[in-house]
Amino acid sequence: MRFPYTLPILRGTLLARNKRFLADVRLDSGGIITALCANTGSMKSCCEPGRPVLLSDKGQCTGKYSHLWESIHMGQCWVNVNTGLPNRAVEQLVLADALPGLAGWPFLRREVKYGRDGKSRIDLLLTNTAPPKKRKKDPDPVPRGKPNDRPDCYIEVKNTSMKAGELSVFPDAVTERGQKHLVELTALARKGTGAAMVYFCGRTDTQAFRPADEIDPEYGNLLRKAVKAGVQVLPLQVRFDEAGWEFVKLLPVEL
């Protein structure tokens, strides 16, 4: 199942990642530009100067930078570095009923508040309940199918670009926010609510997935507790090229 890029793609060579949110790139077509880097992590194993990179061209825009760093070629494959893509991509796969255990709900909602303090937001919520209309004049939501007898399912999505040996690992930096998400999903699962962690492994040079205990041991501990409580773990291996991306397979999980 392939999905094309929605913006024009340019090819270049990474010169440097600057100030965390910027990257200097020499374009194959000539000239040096500074592109936005949406990835706030350390980008271990996918930020080597001299590597080929792909940028999306946003064209005319009101911001200072009109290009976004999409992926980098690390010898064997392209690696996704755009952390804004996985949520949209997983939503597309869910709507296509392409992911096991995440099909059959009539409604899909985004960024819904949840958690014990009500301040967390889940990336995707699969539910039998129609979302509230933002305005009275908006049309009624159209269900994708008939309601089922399963509880709602809360889905958290994590971009996973780091490689350790032959494994995709997450996170690439200590993440208190990610730890909190696991605590919240574990609490939901223990109550019988559906909960899933989707790791968007945007590279094809790995054979399995595991938590990066060497980076954030507490995250690994919490993930193991989450699995025991019933949280579903889905590491998606995704292939990228200059035309777009495609879902390849689910990676085995090594806990």
Q: Is residue 255 part of a domain?
A: no
Q: Give, for all 255 residues of the chain, the pLDDT tens digit.
A: 789 988 899 999 999 998 889 999 999 999 999 999 999 889 989 999 999 999 999 775 556 788 999 999 999 999 999 999 999 999 999 999 999 999 989 999 999 988 777 778 999 999 999 888 777 777 778 888 888 889 999 999 999 999 999 999 999 999 999 999 999 999 999 999 999 999 999 999 999 999 999 999 999 999 999 999 999 999 999 999 999 999 999 999 999
Same domain, 148 and 65: no
The CATH number of whichever domain residue 11 belongs to comes to 2.40.50.580
Residues 139 and 218 reside in one and the same domain: yes
Q: How far apart are CA 82 and CA 45, in angstroms?
A: 15
Do residue 67 and residue 93 come from a single domain? no
In terms of domains, do 93 and 64 share one? no
Half-sphere exposure of 250 (CA within 13 A, CB side): 13
* Owner of token pair 């509880």: 151
- Cut 0.85: pTM above it: yes
In a shared domain, residues 142 and 217: yes
Q: Give residue 236's domain range.
A: 85-250
One domain for residues 224 and 154: yes
Q: How many CB atoms lie within 10 A of CB 244?
A: 13
Handedness of CA 95, 235, 42, 121 (dihedral sign): positive
Whichever domain contains 95, its CATH number is 3.40.1350.60
Q: CB–CB of 26/32 below 8 Å? A: yes
Reported residue count of the chain is: 255
Number of compact structural domains in the chain: 2
Q: Return the structure tokens found at 170.
A: 């997450």
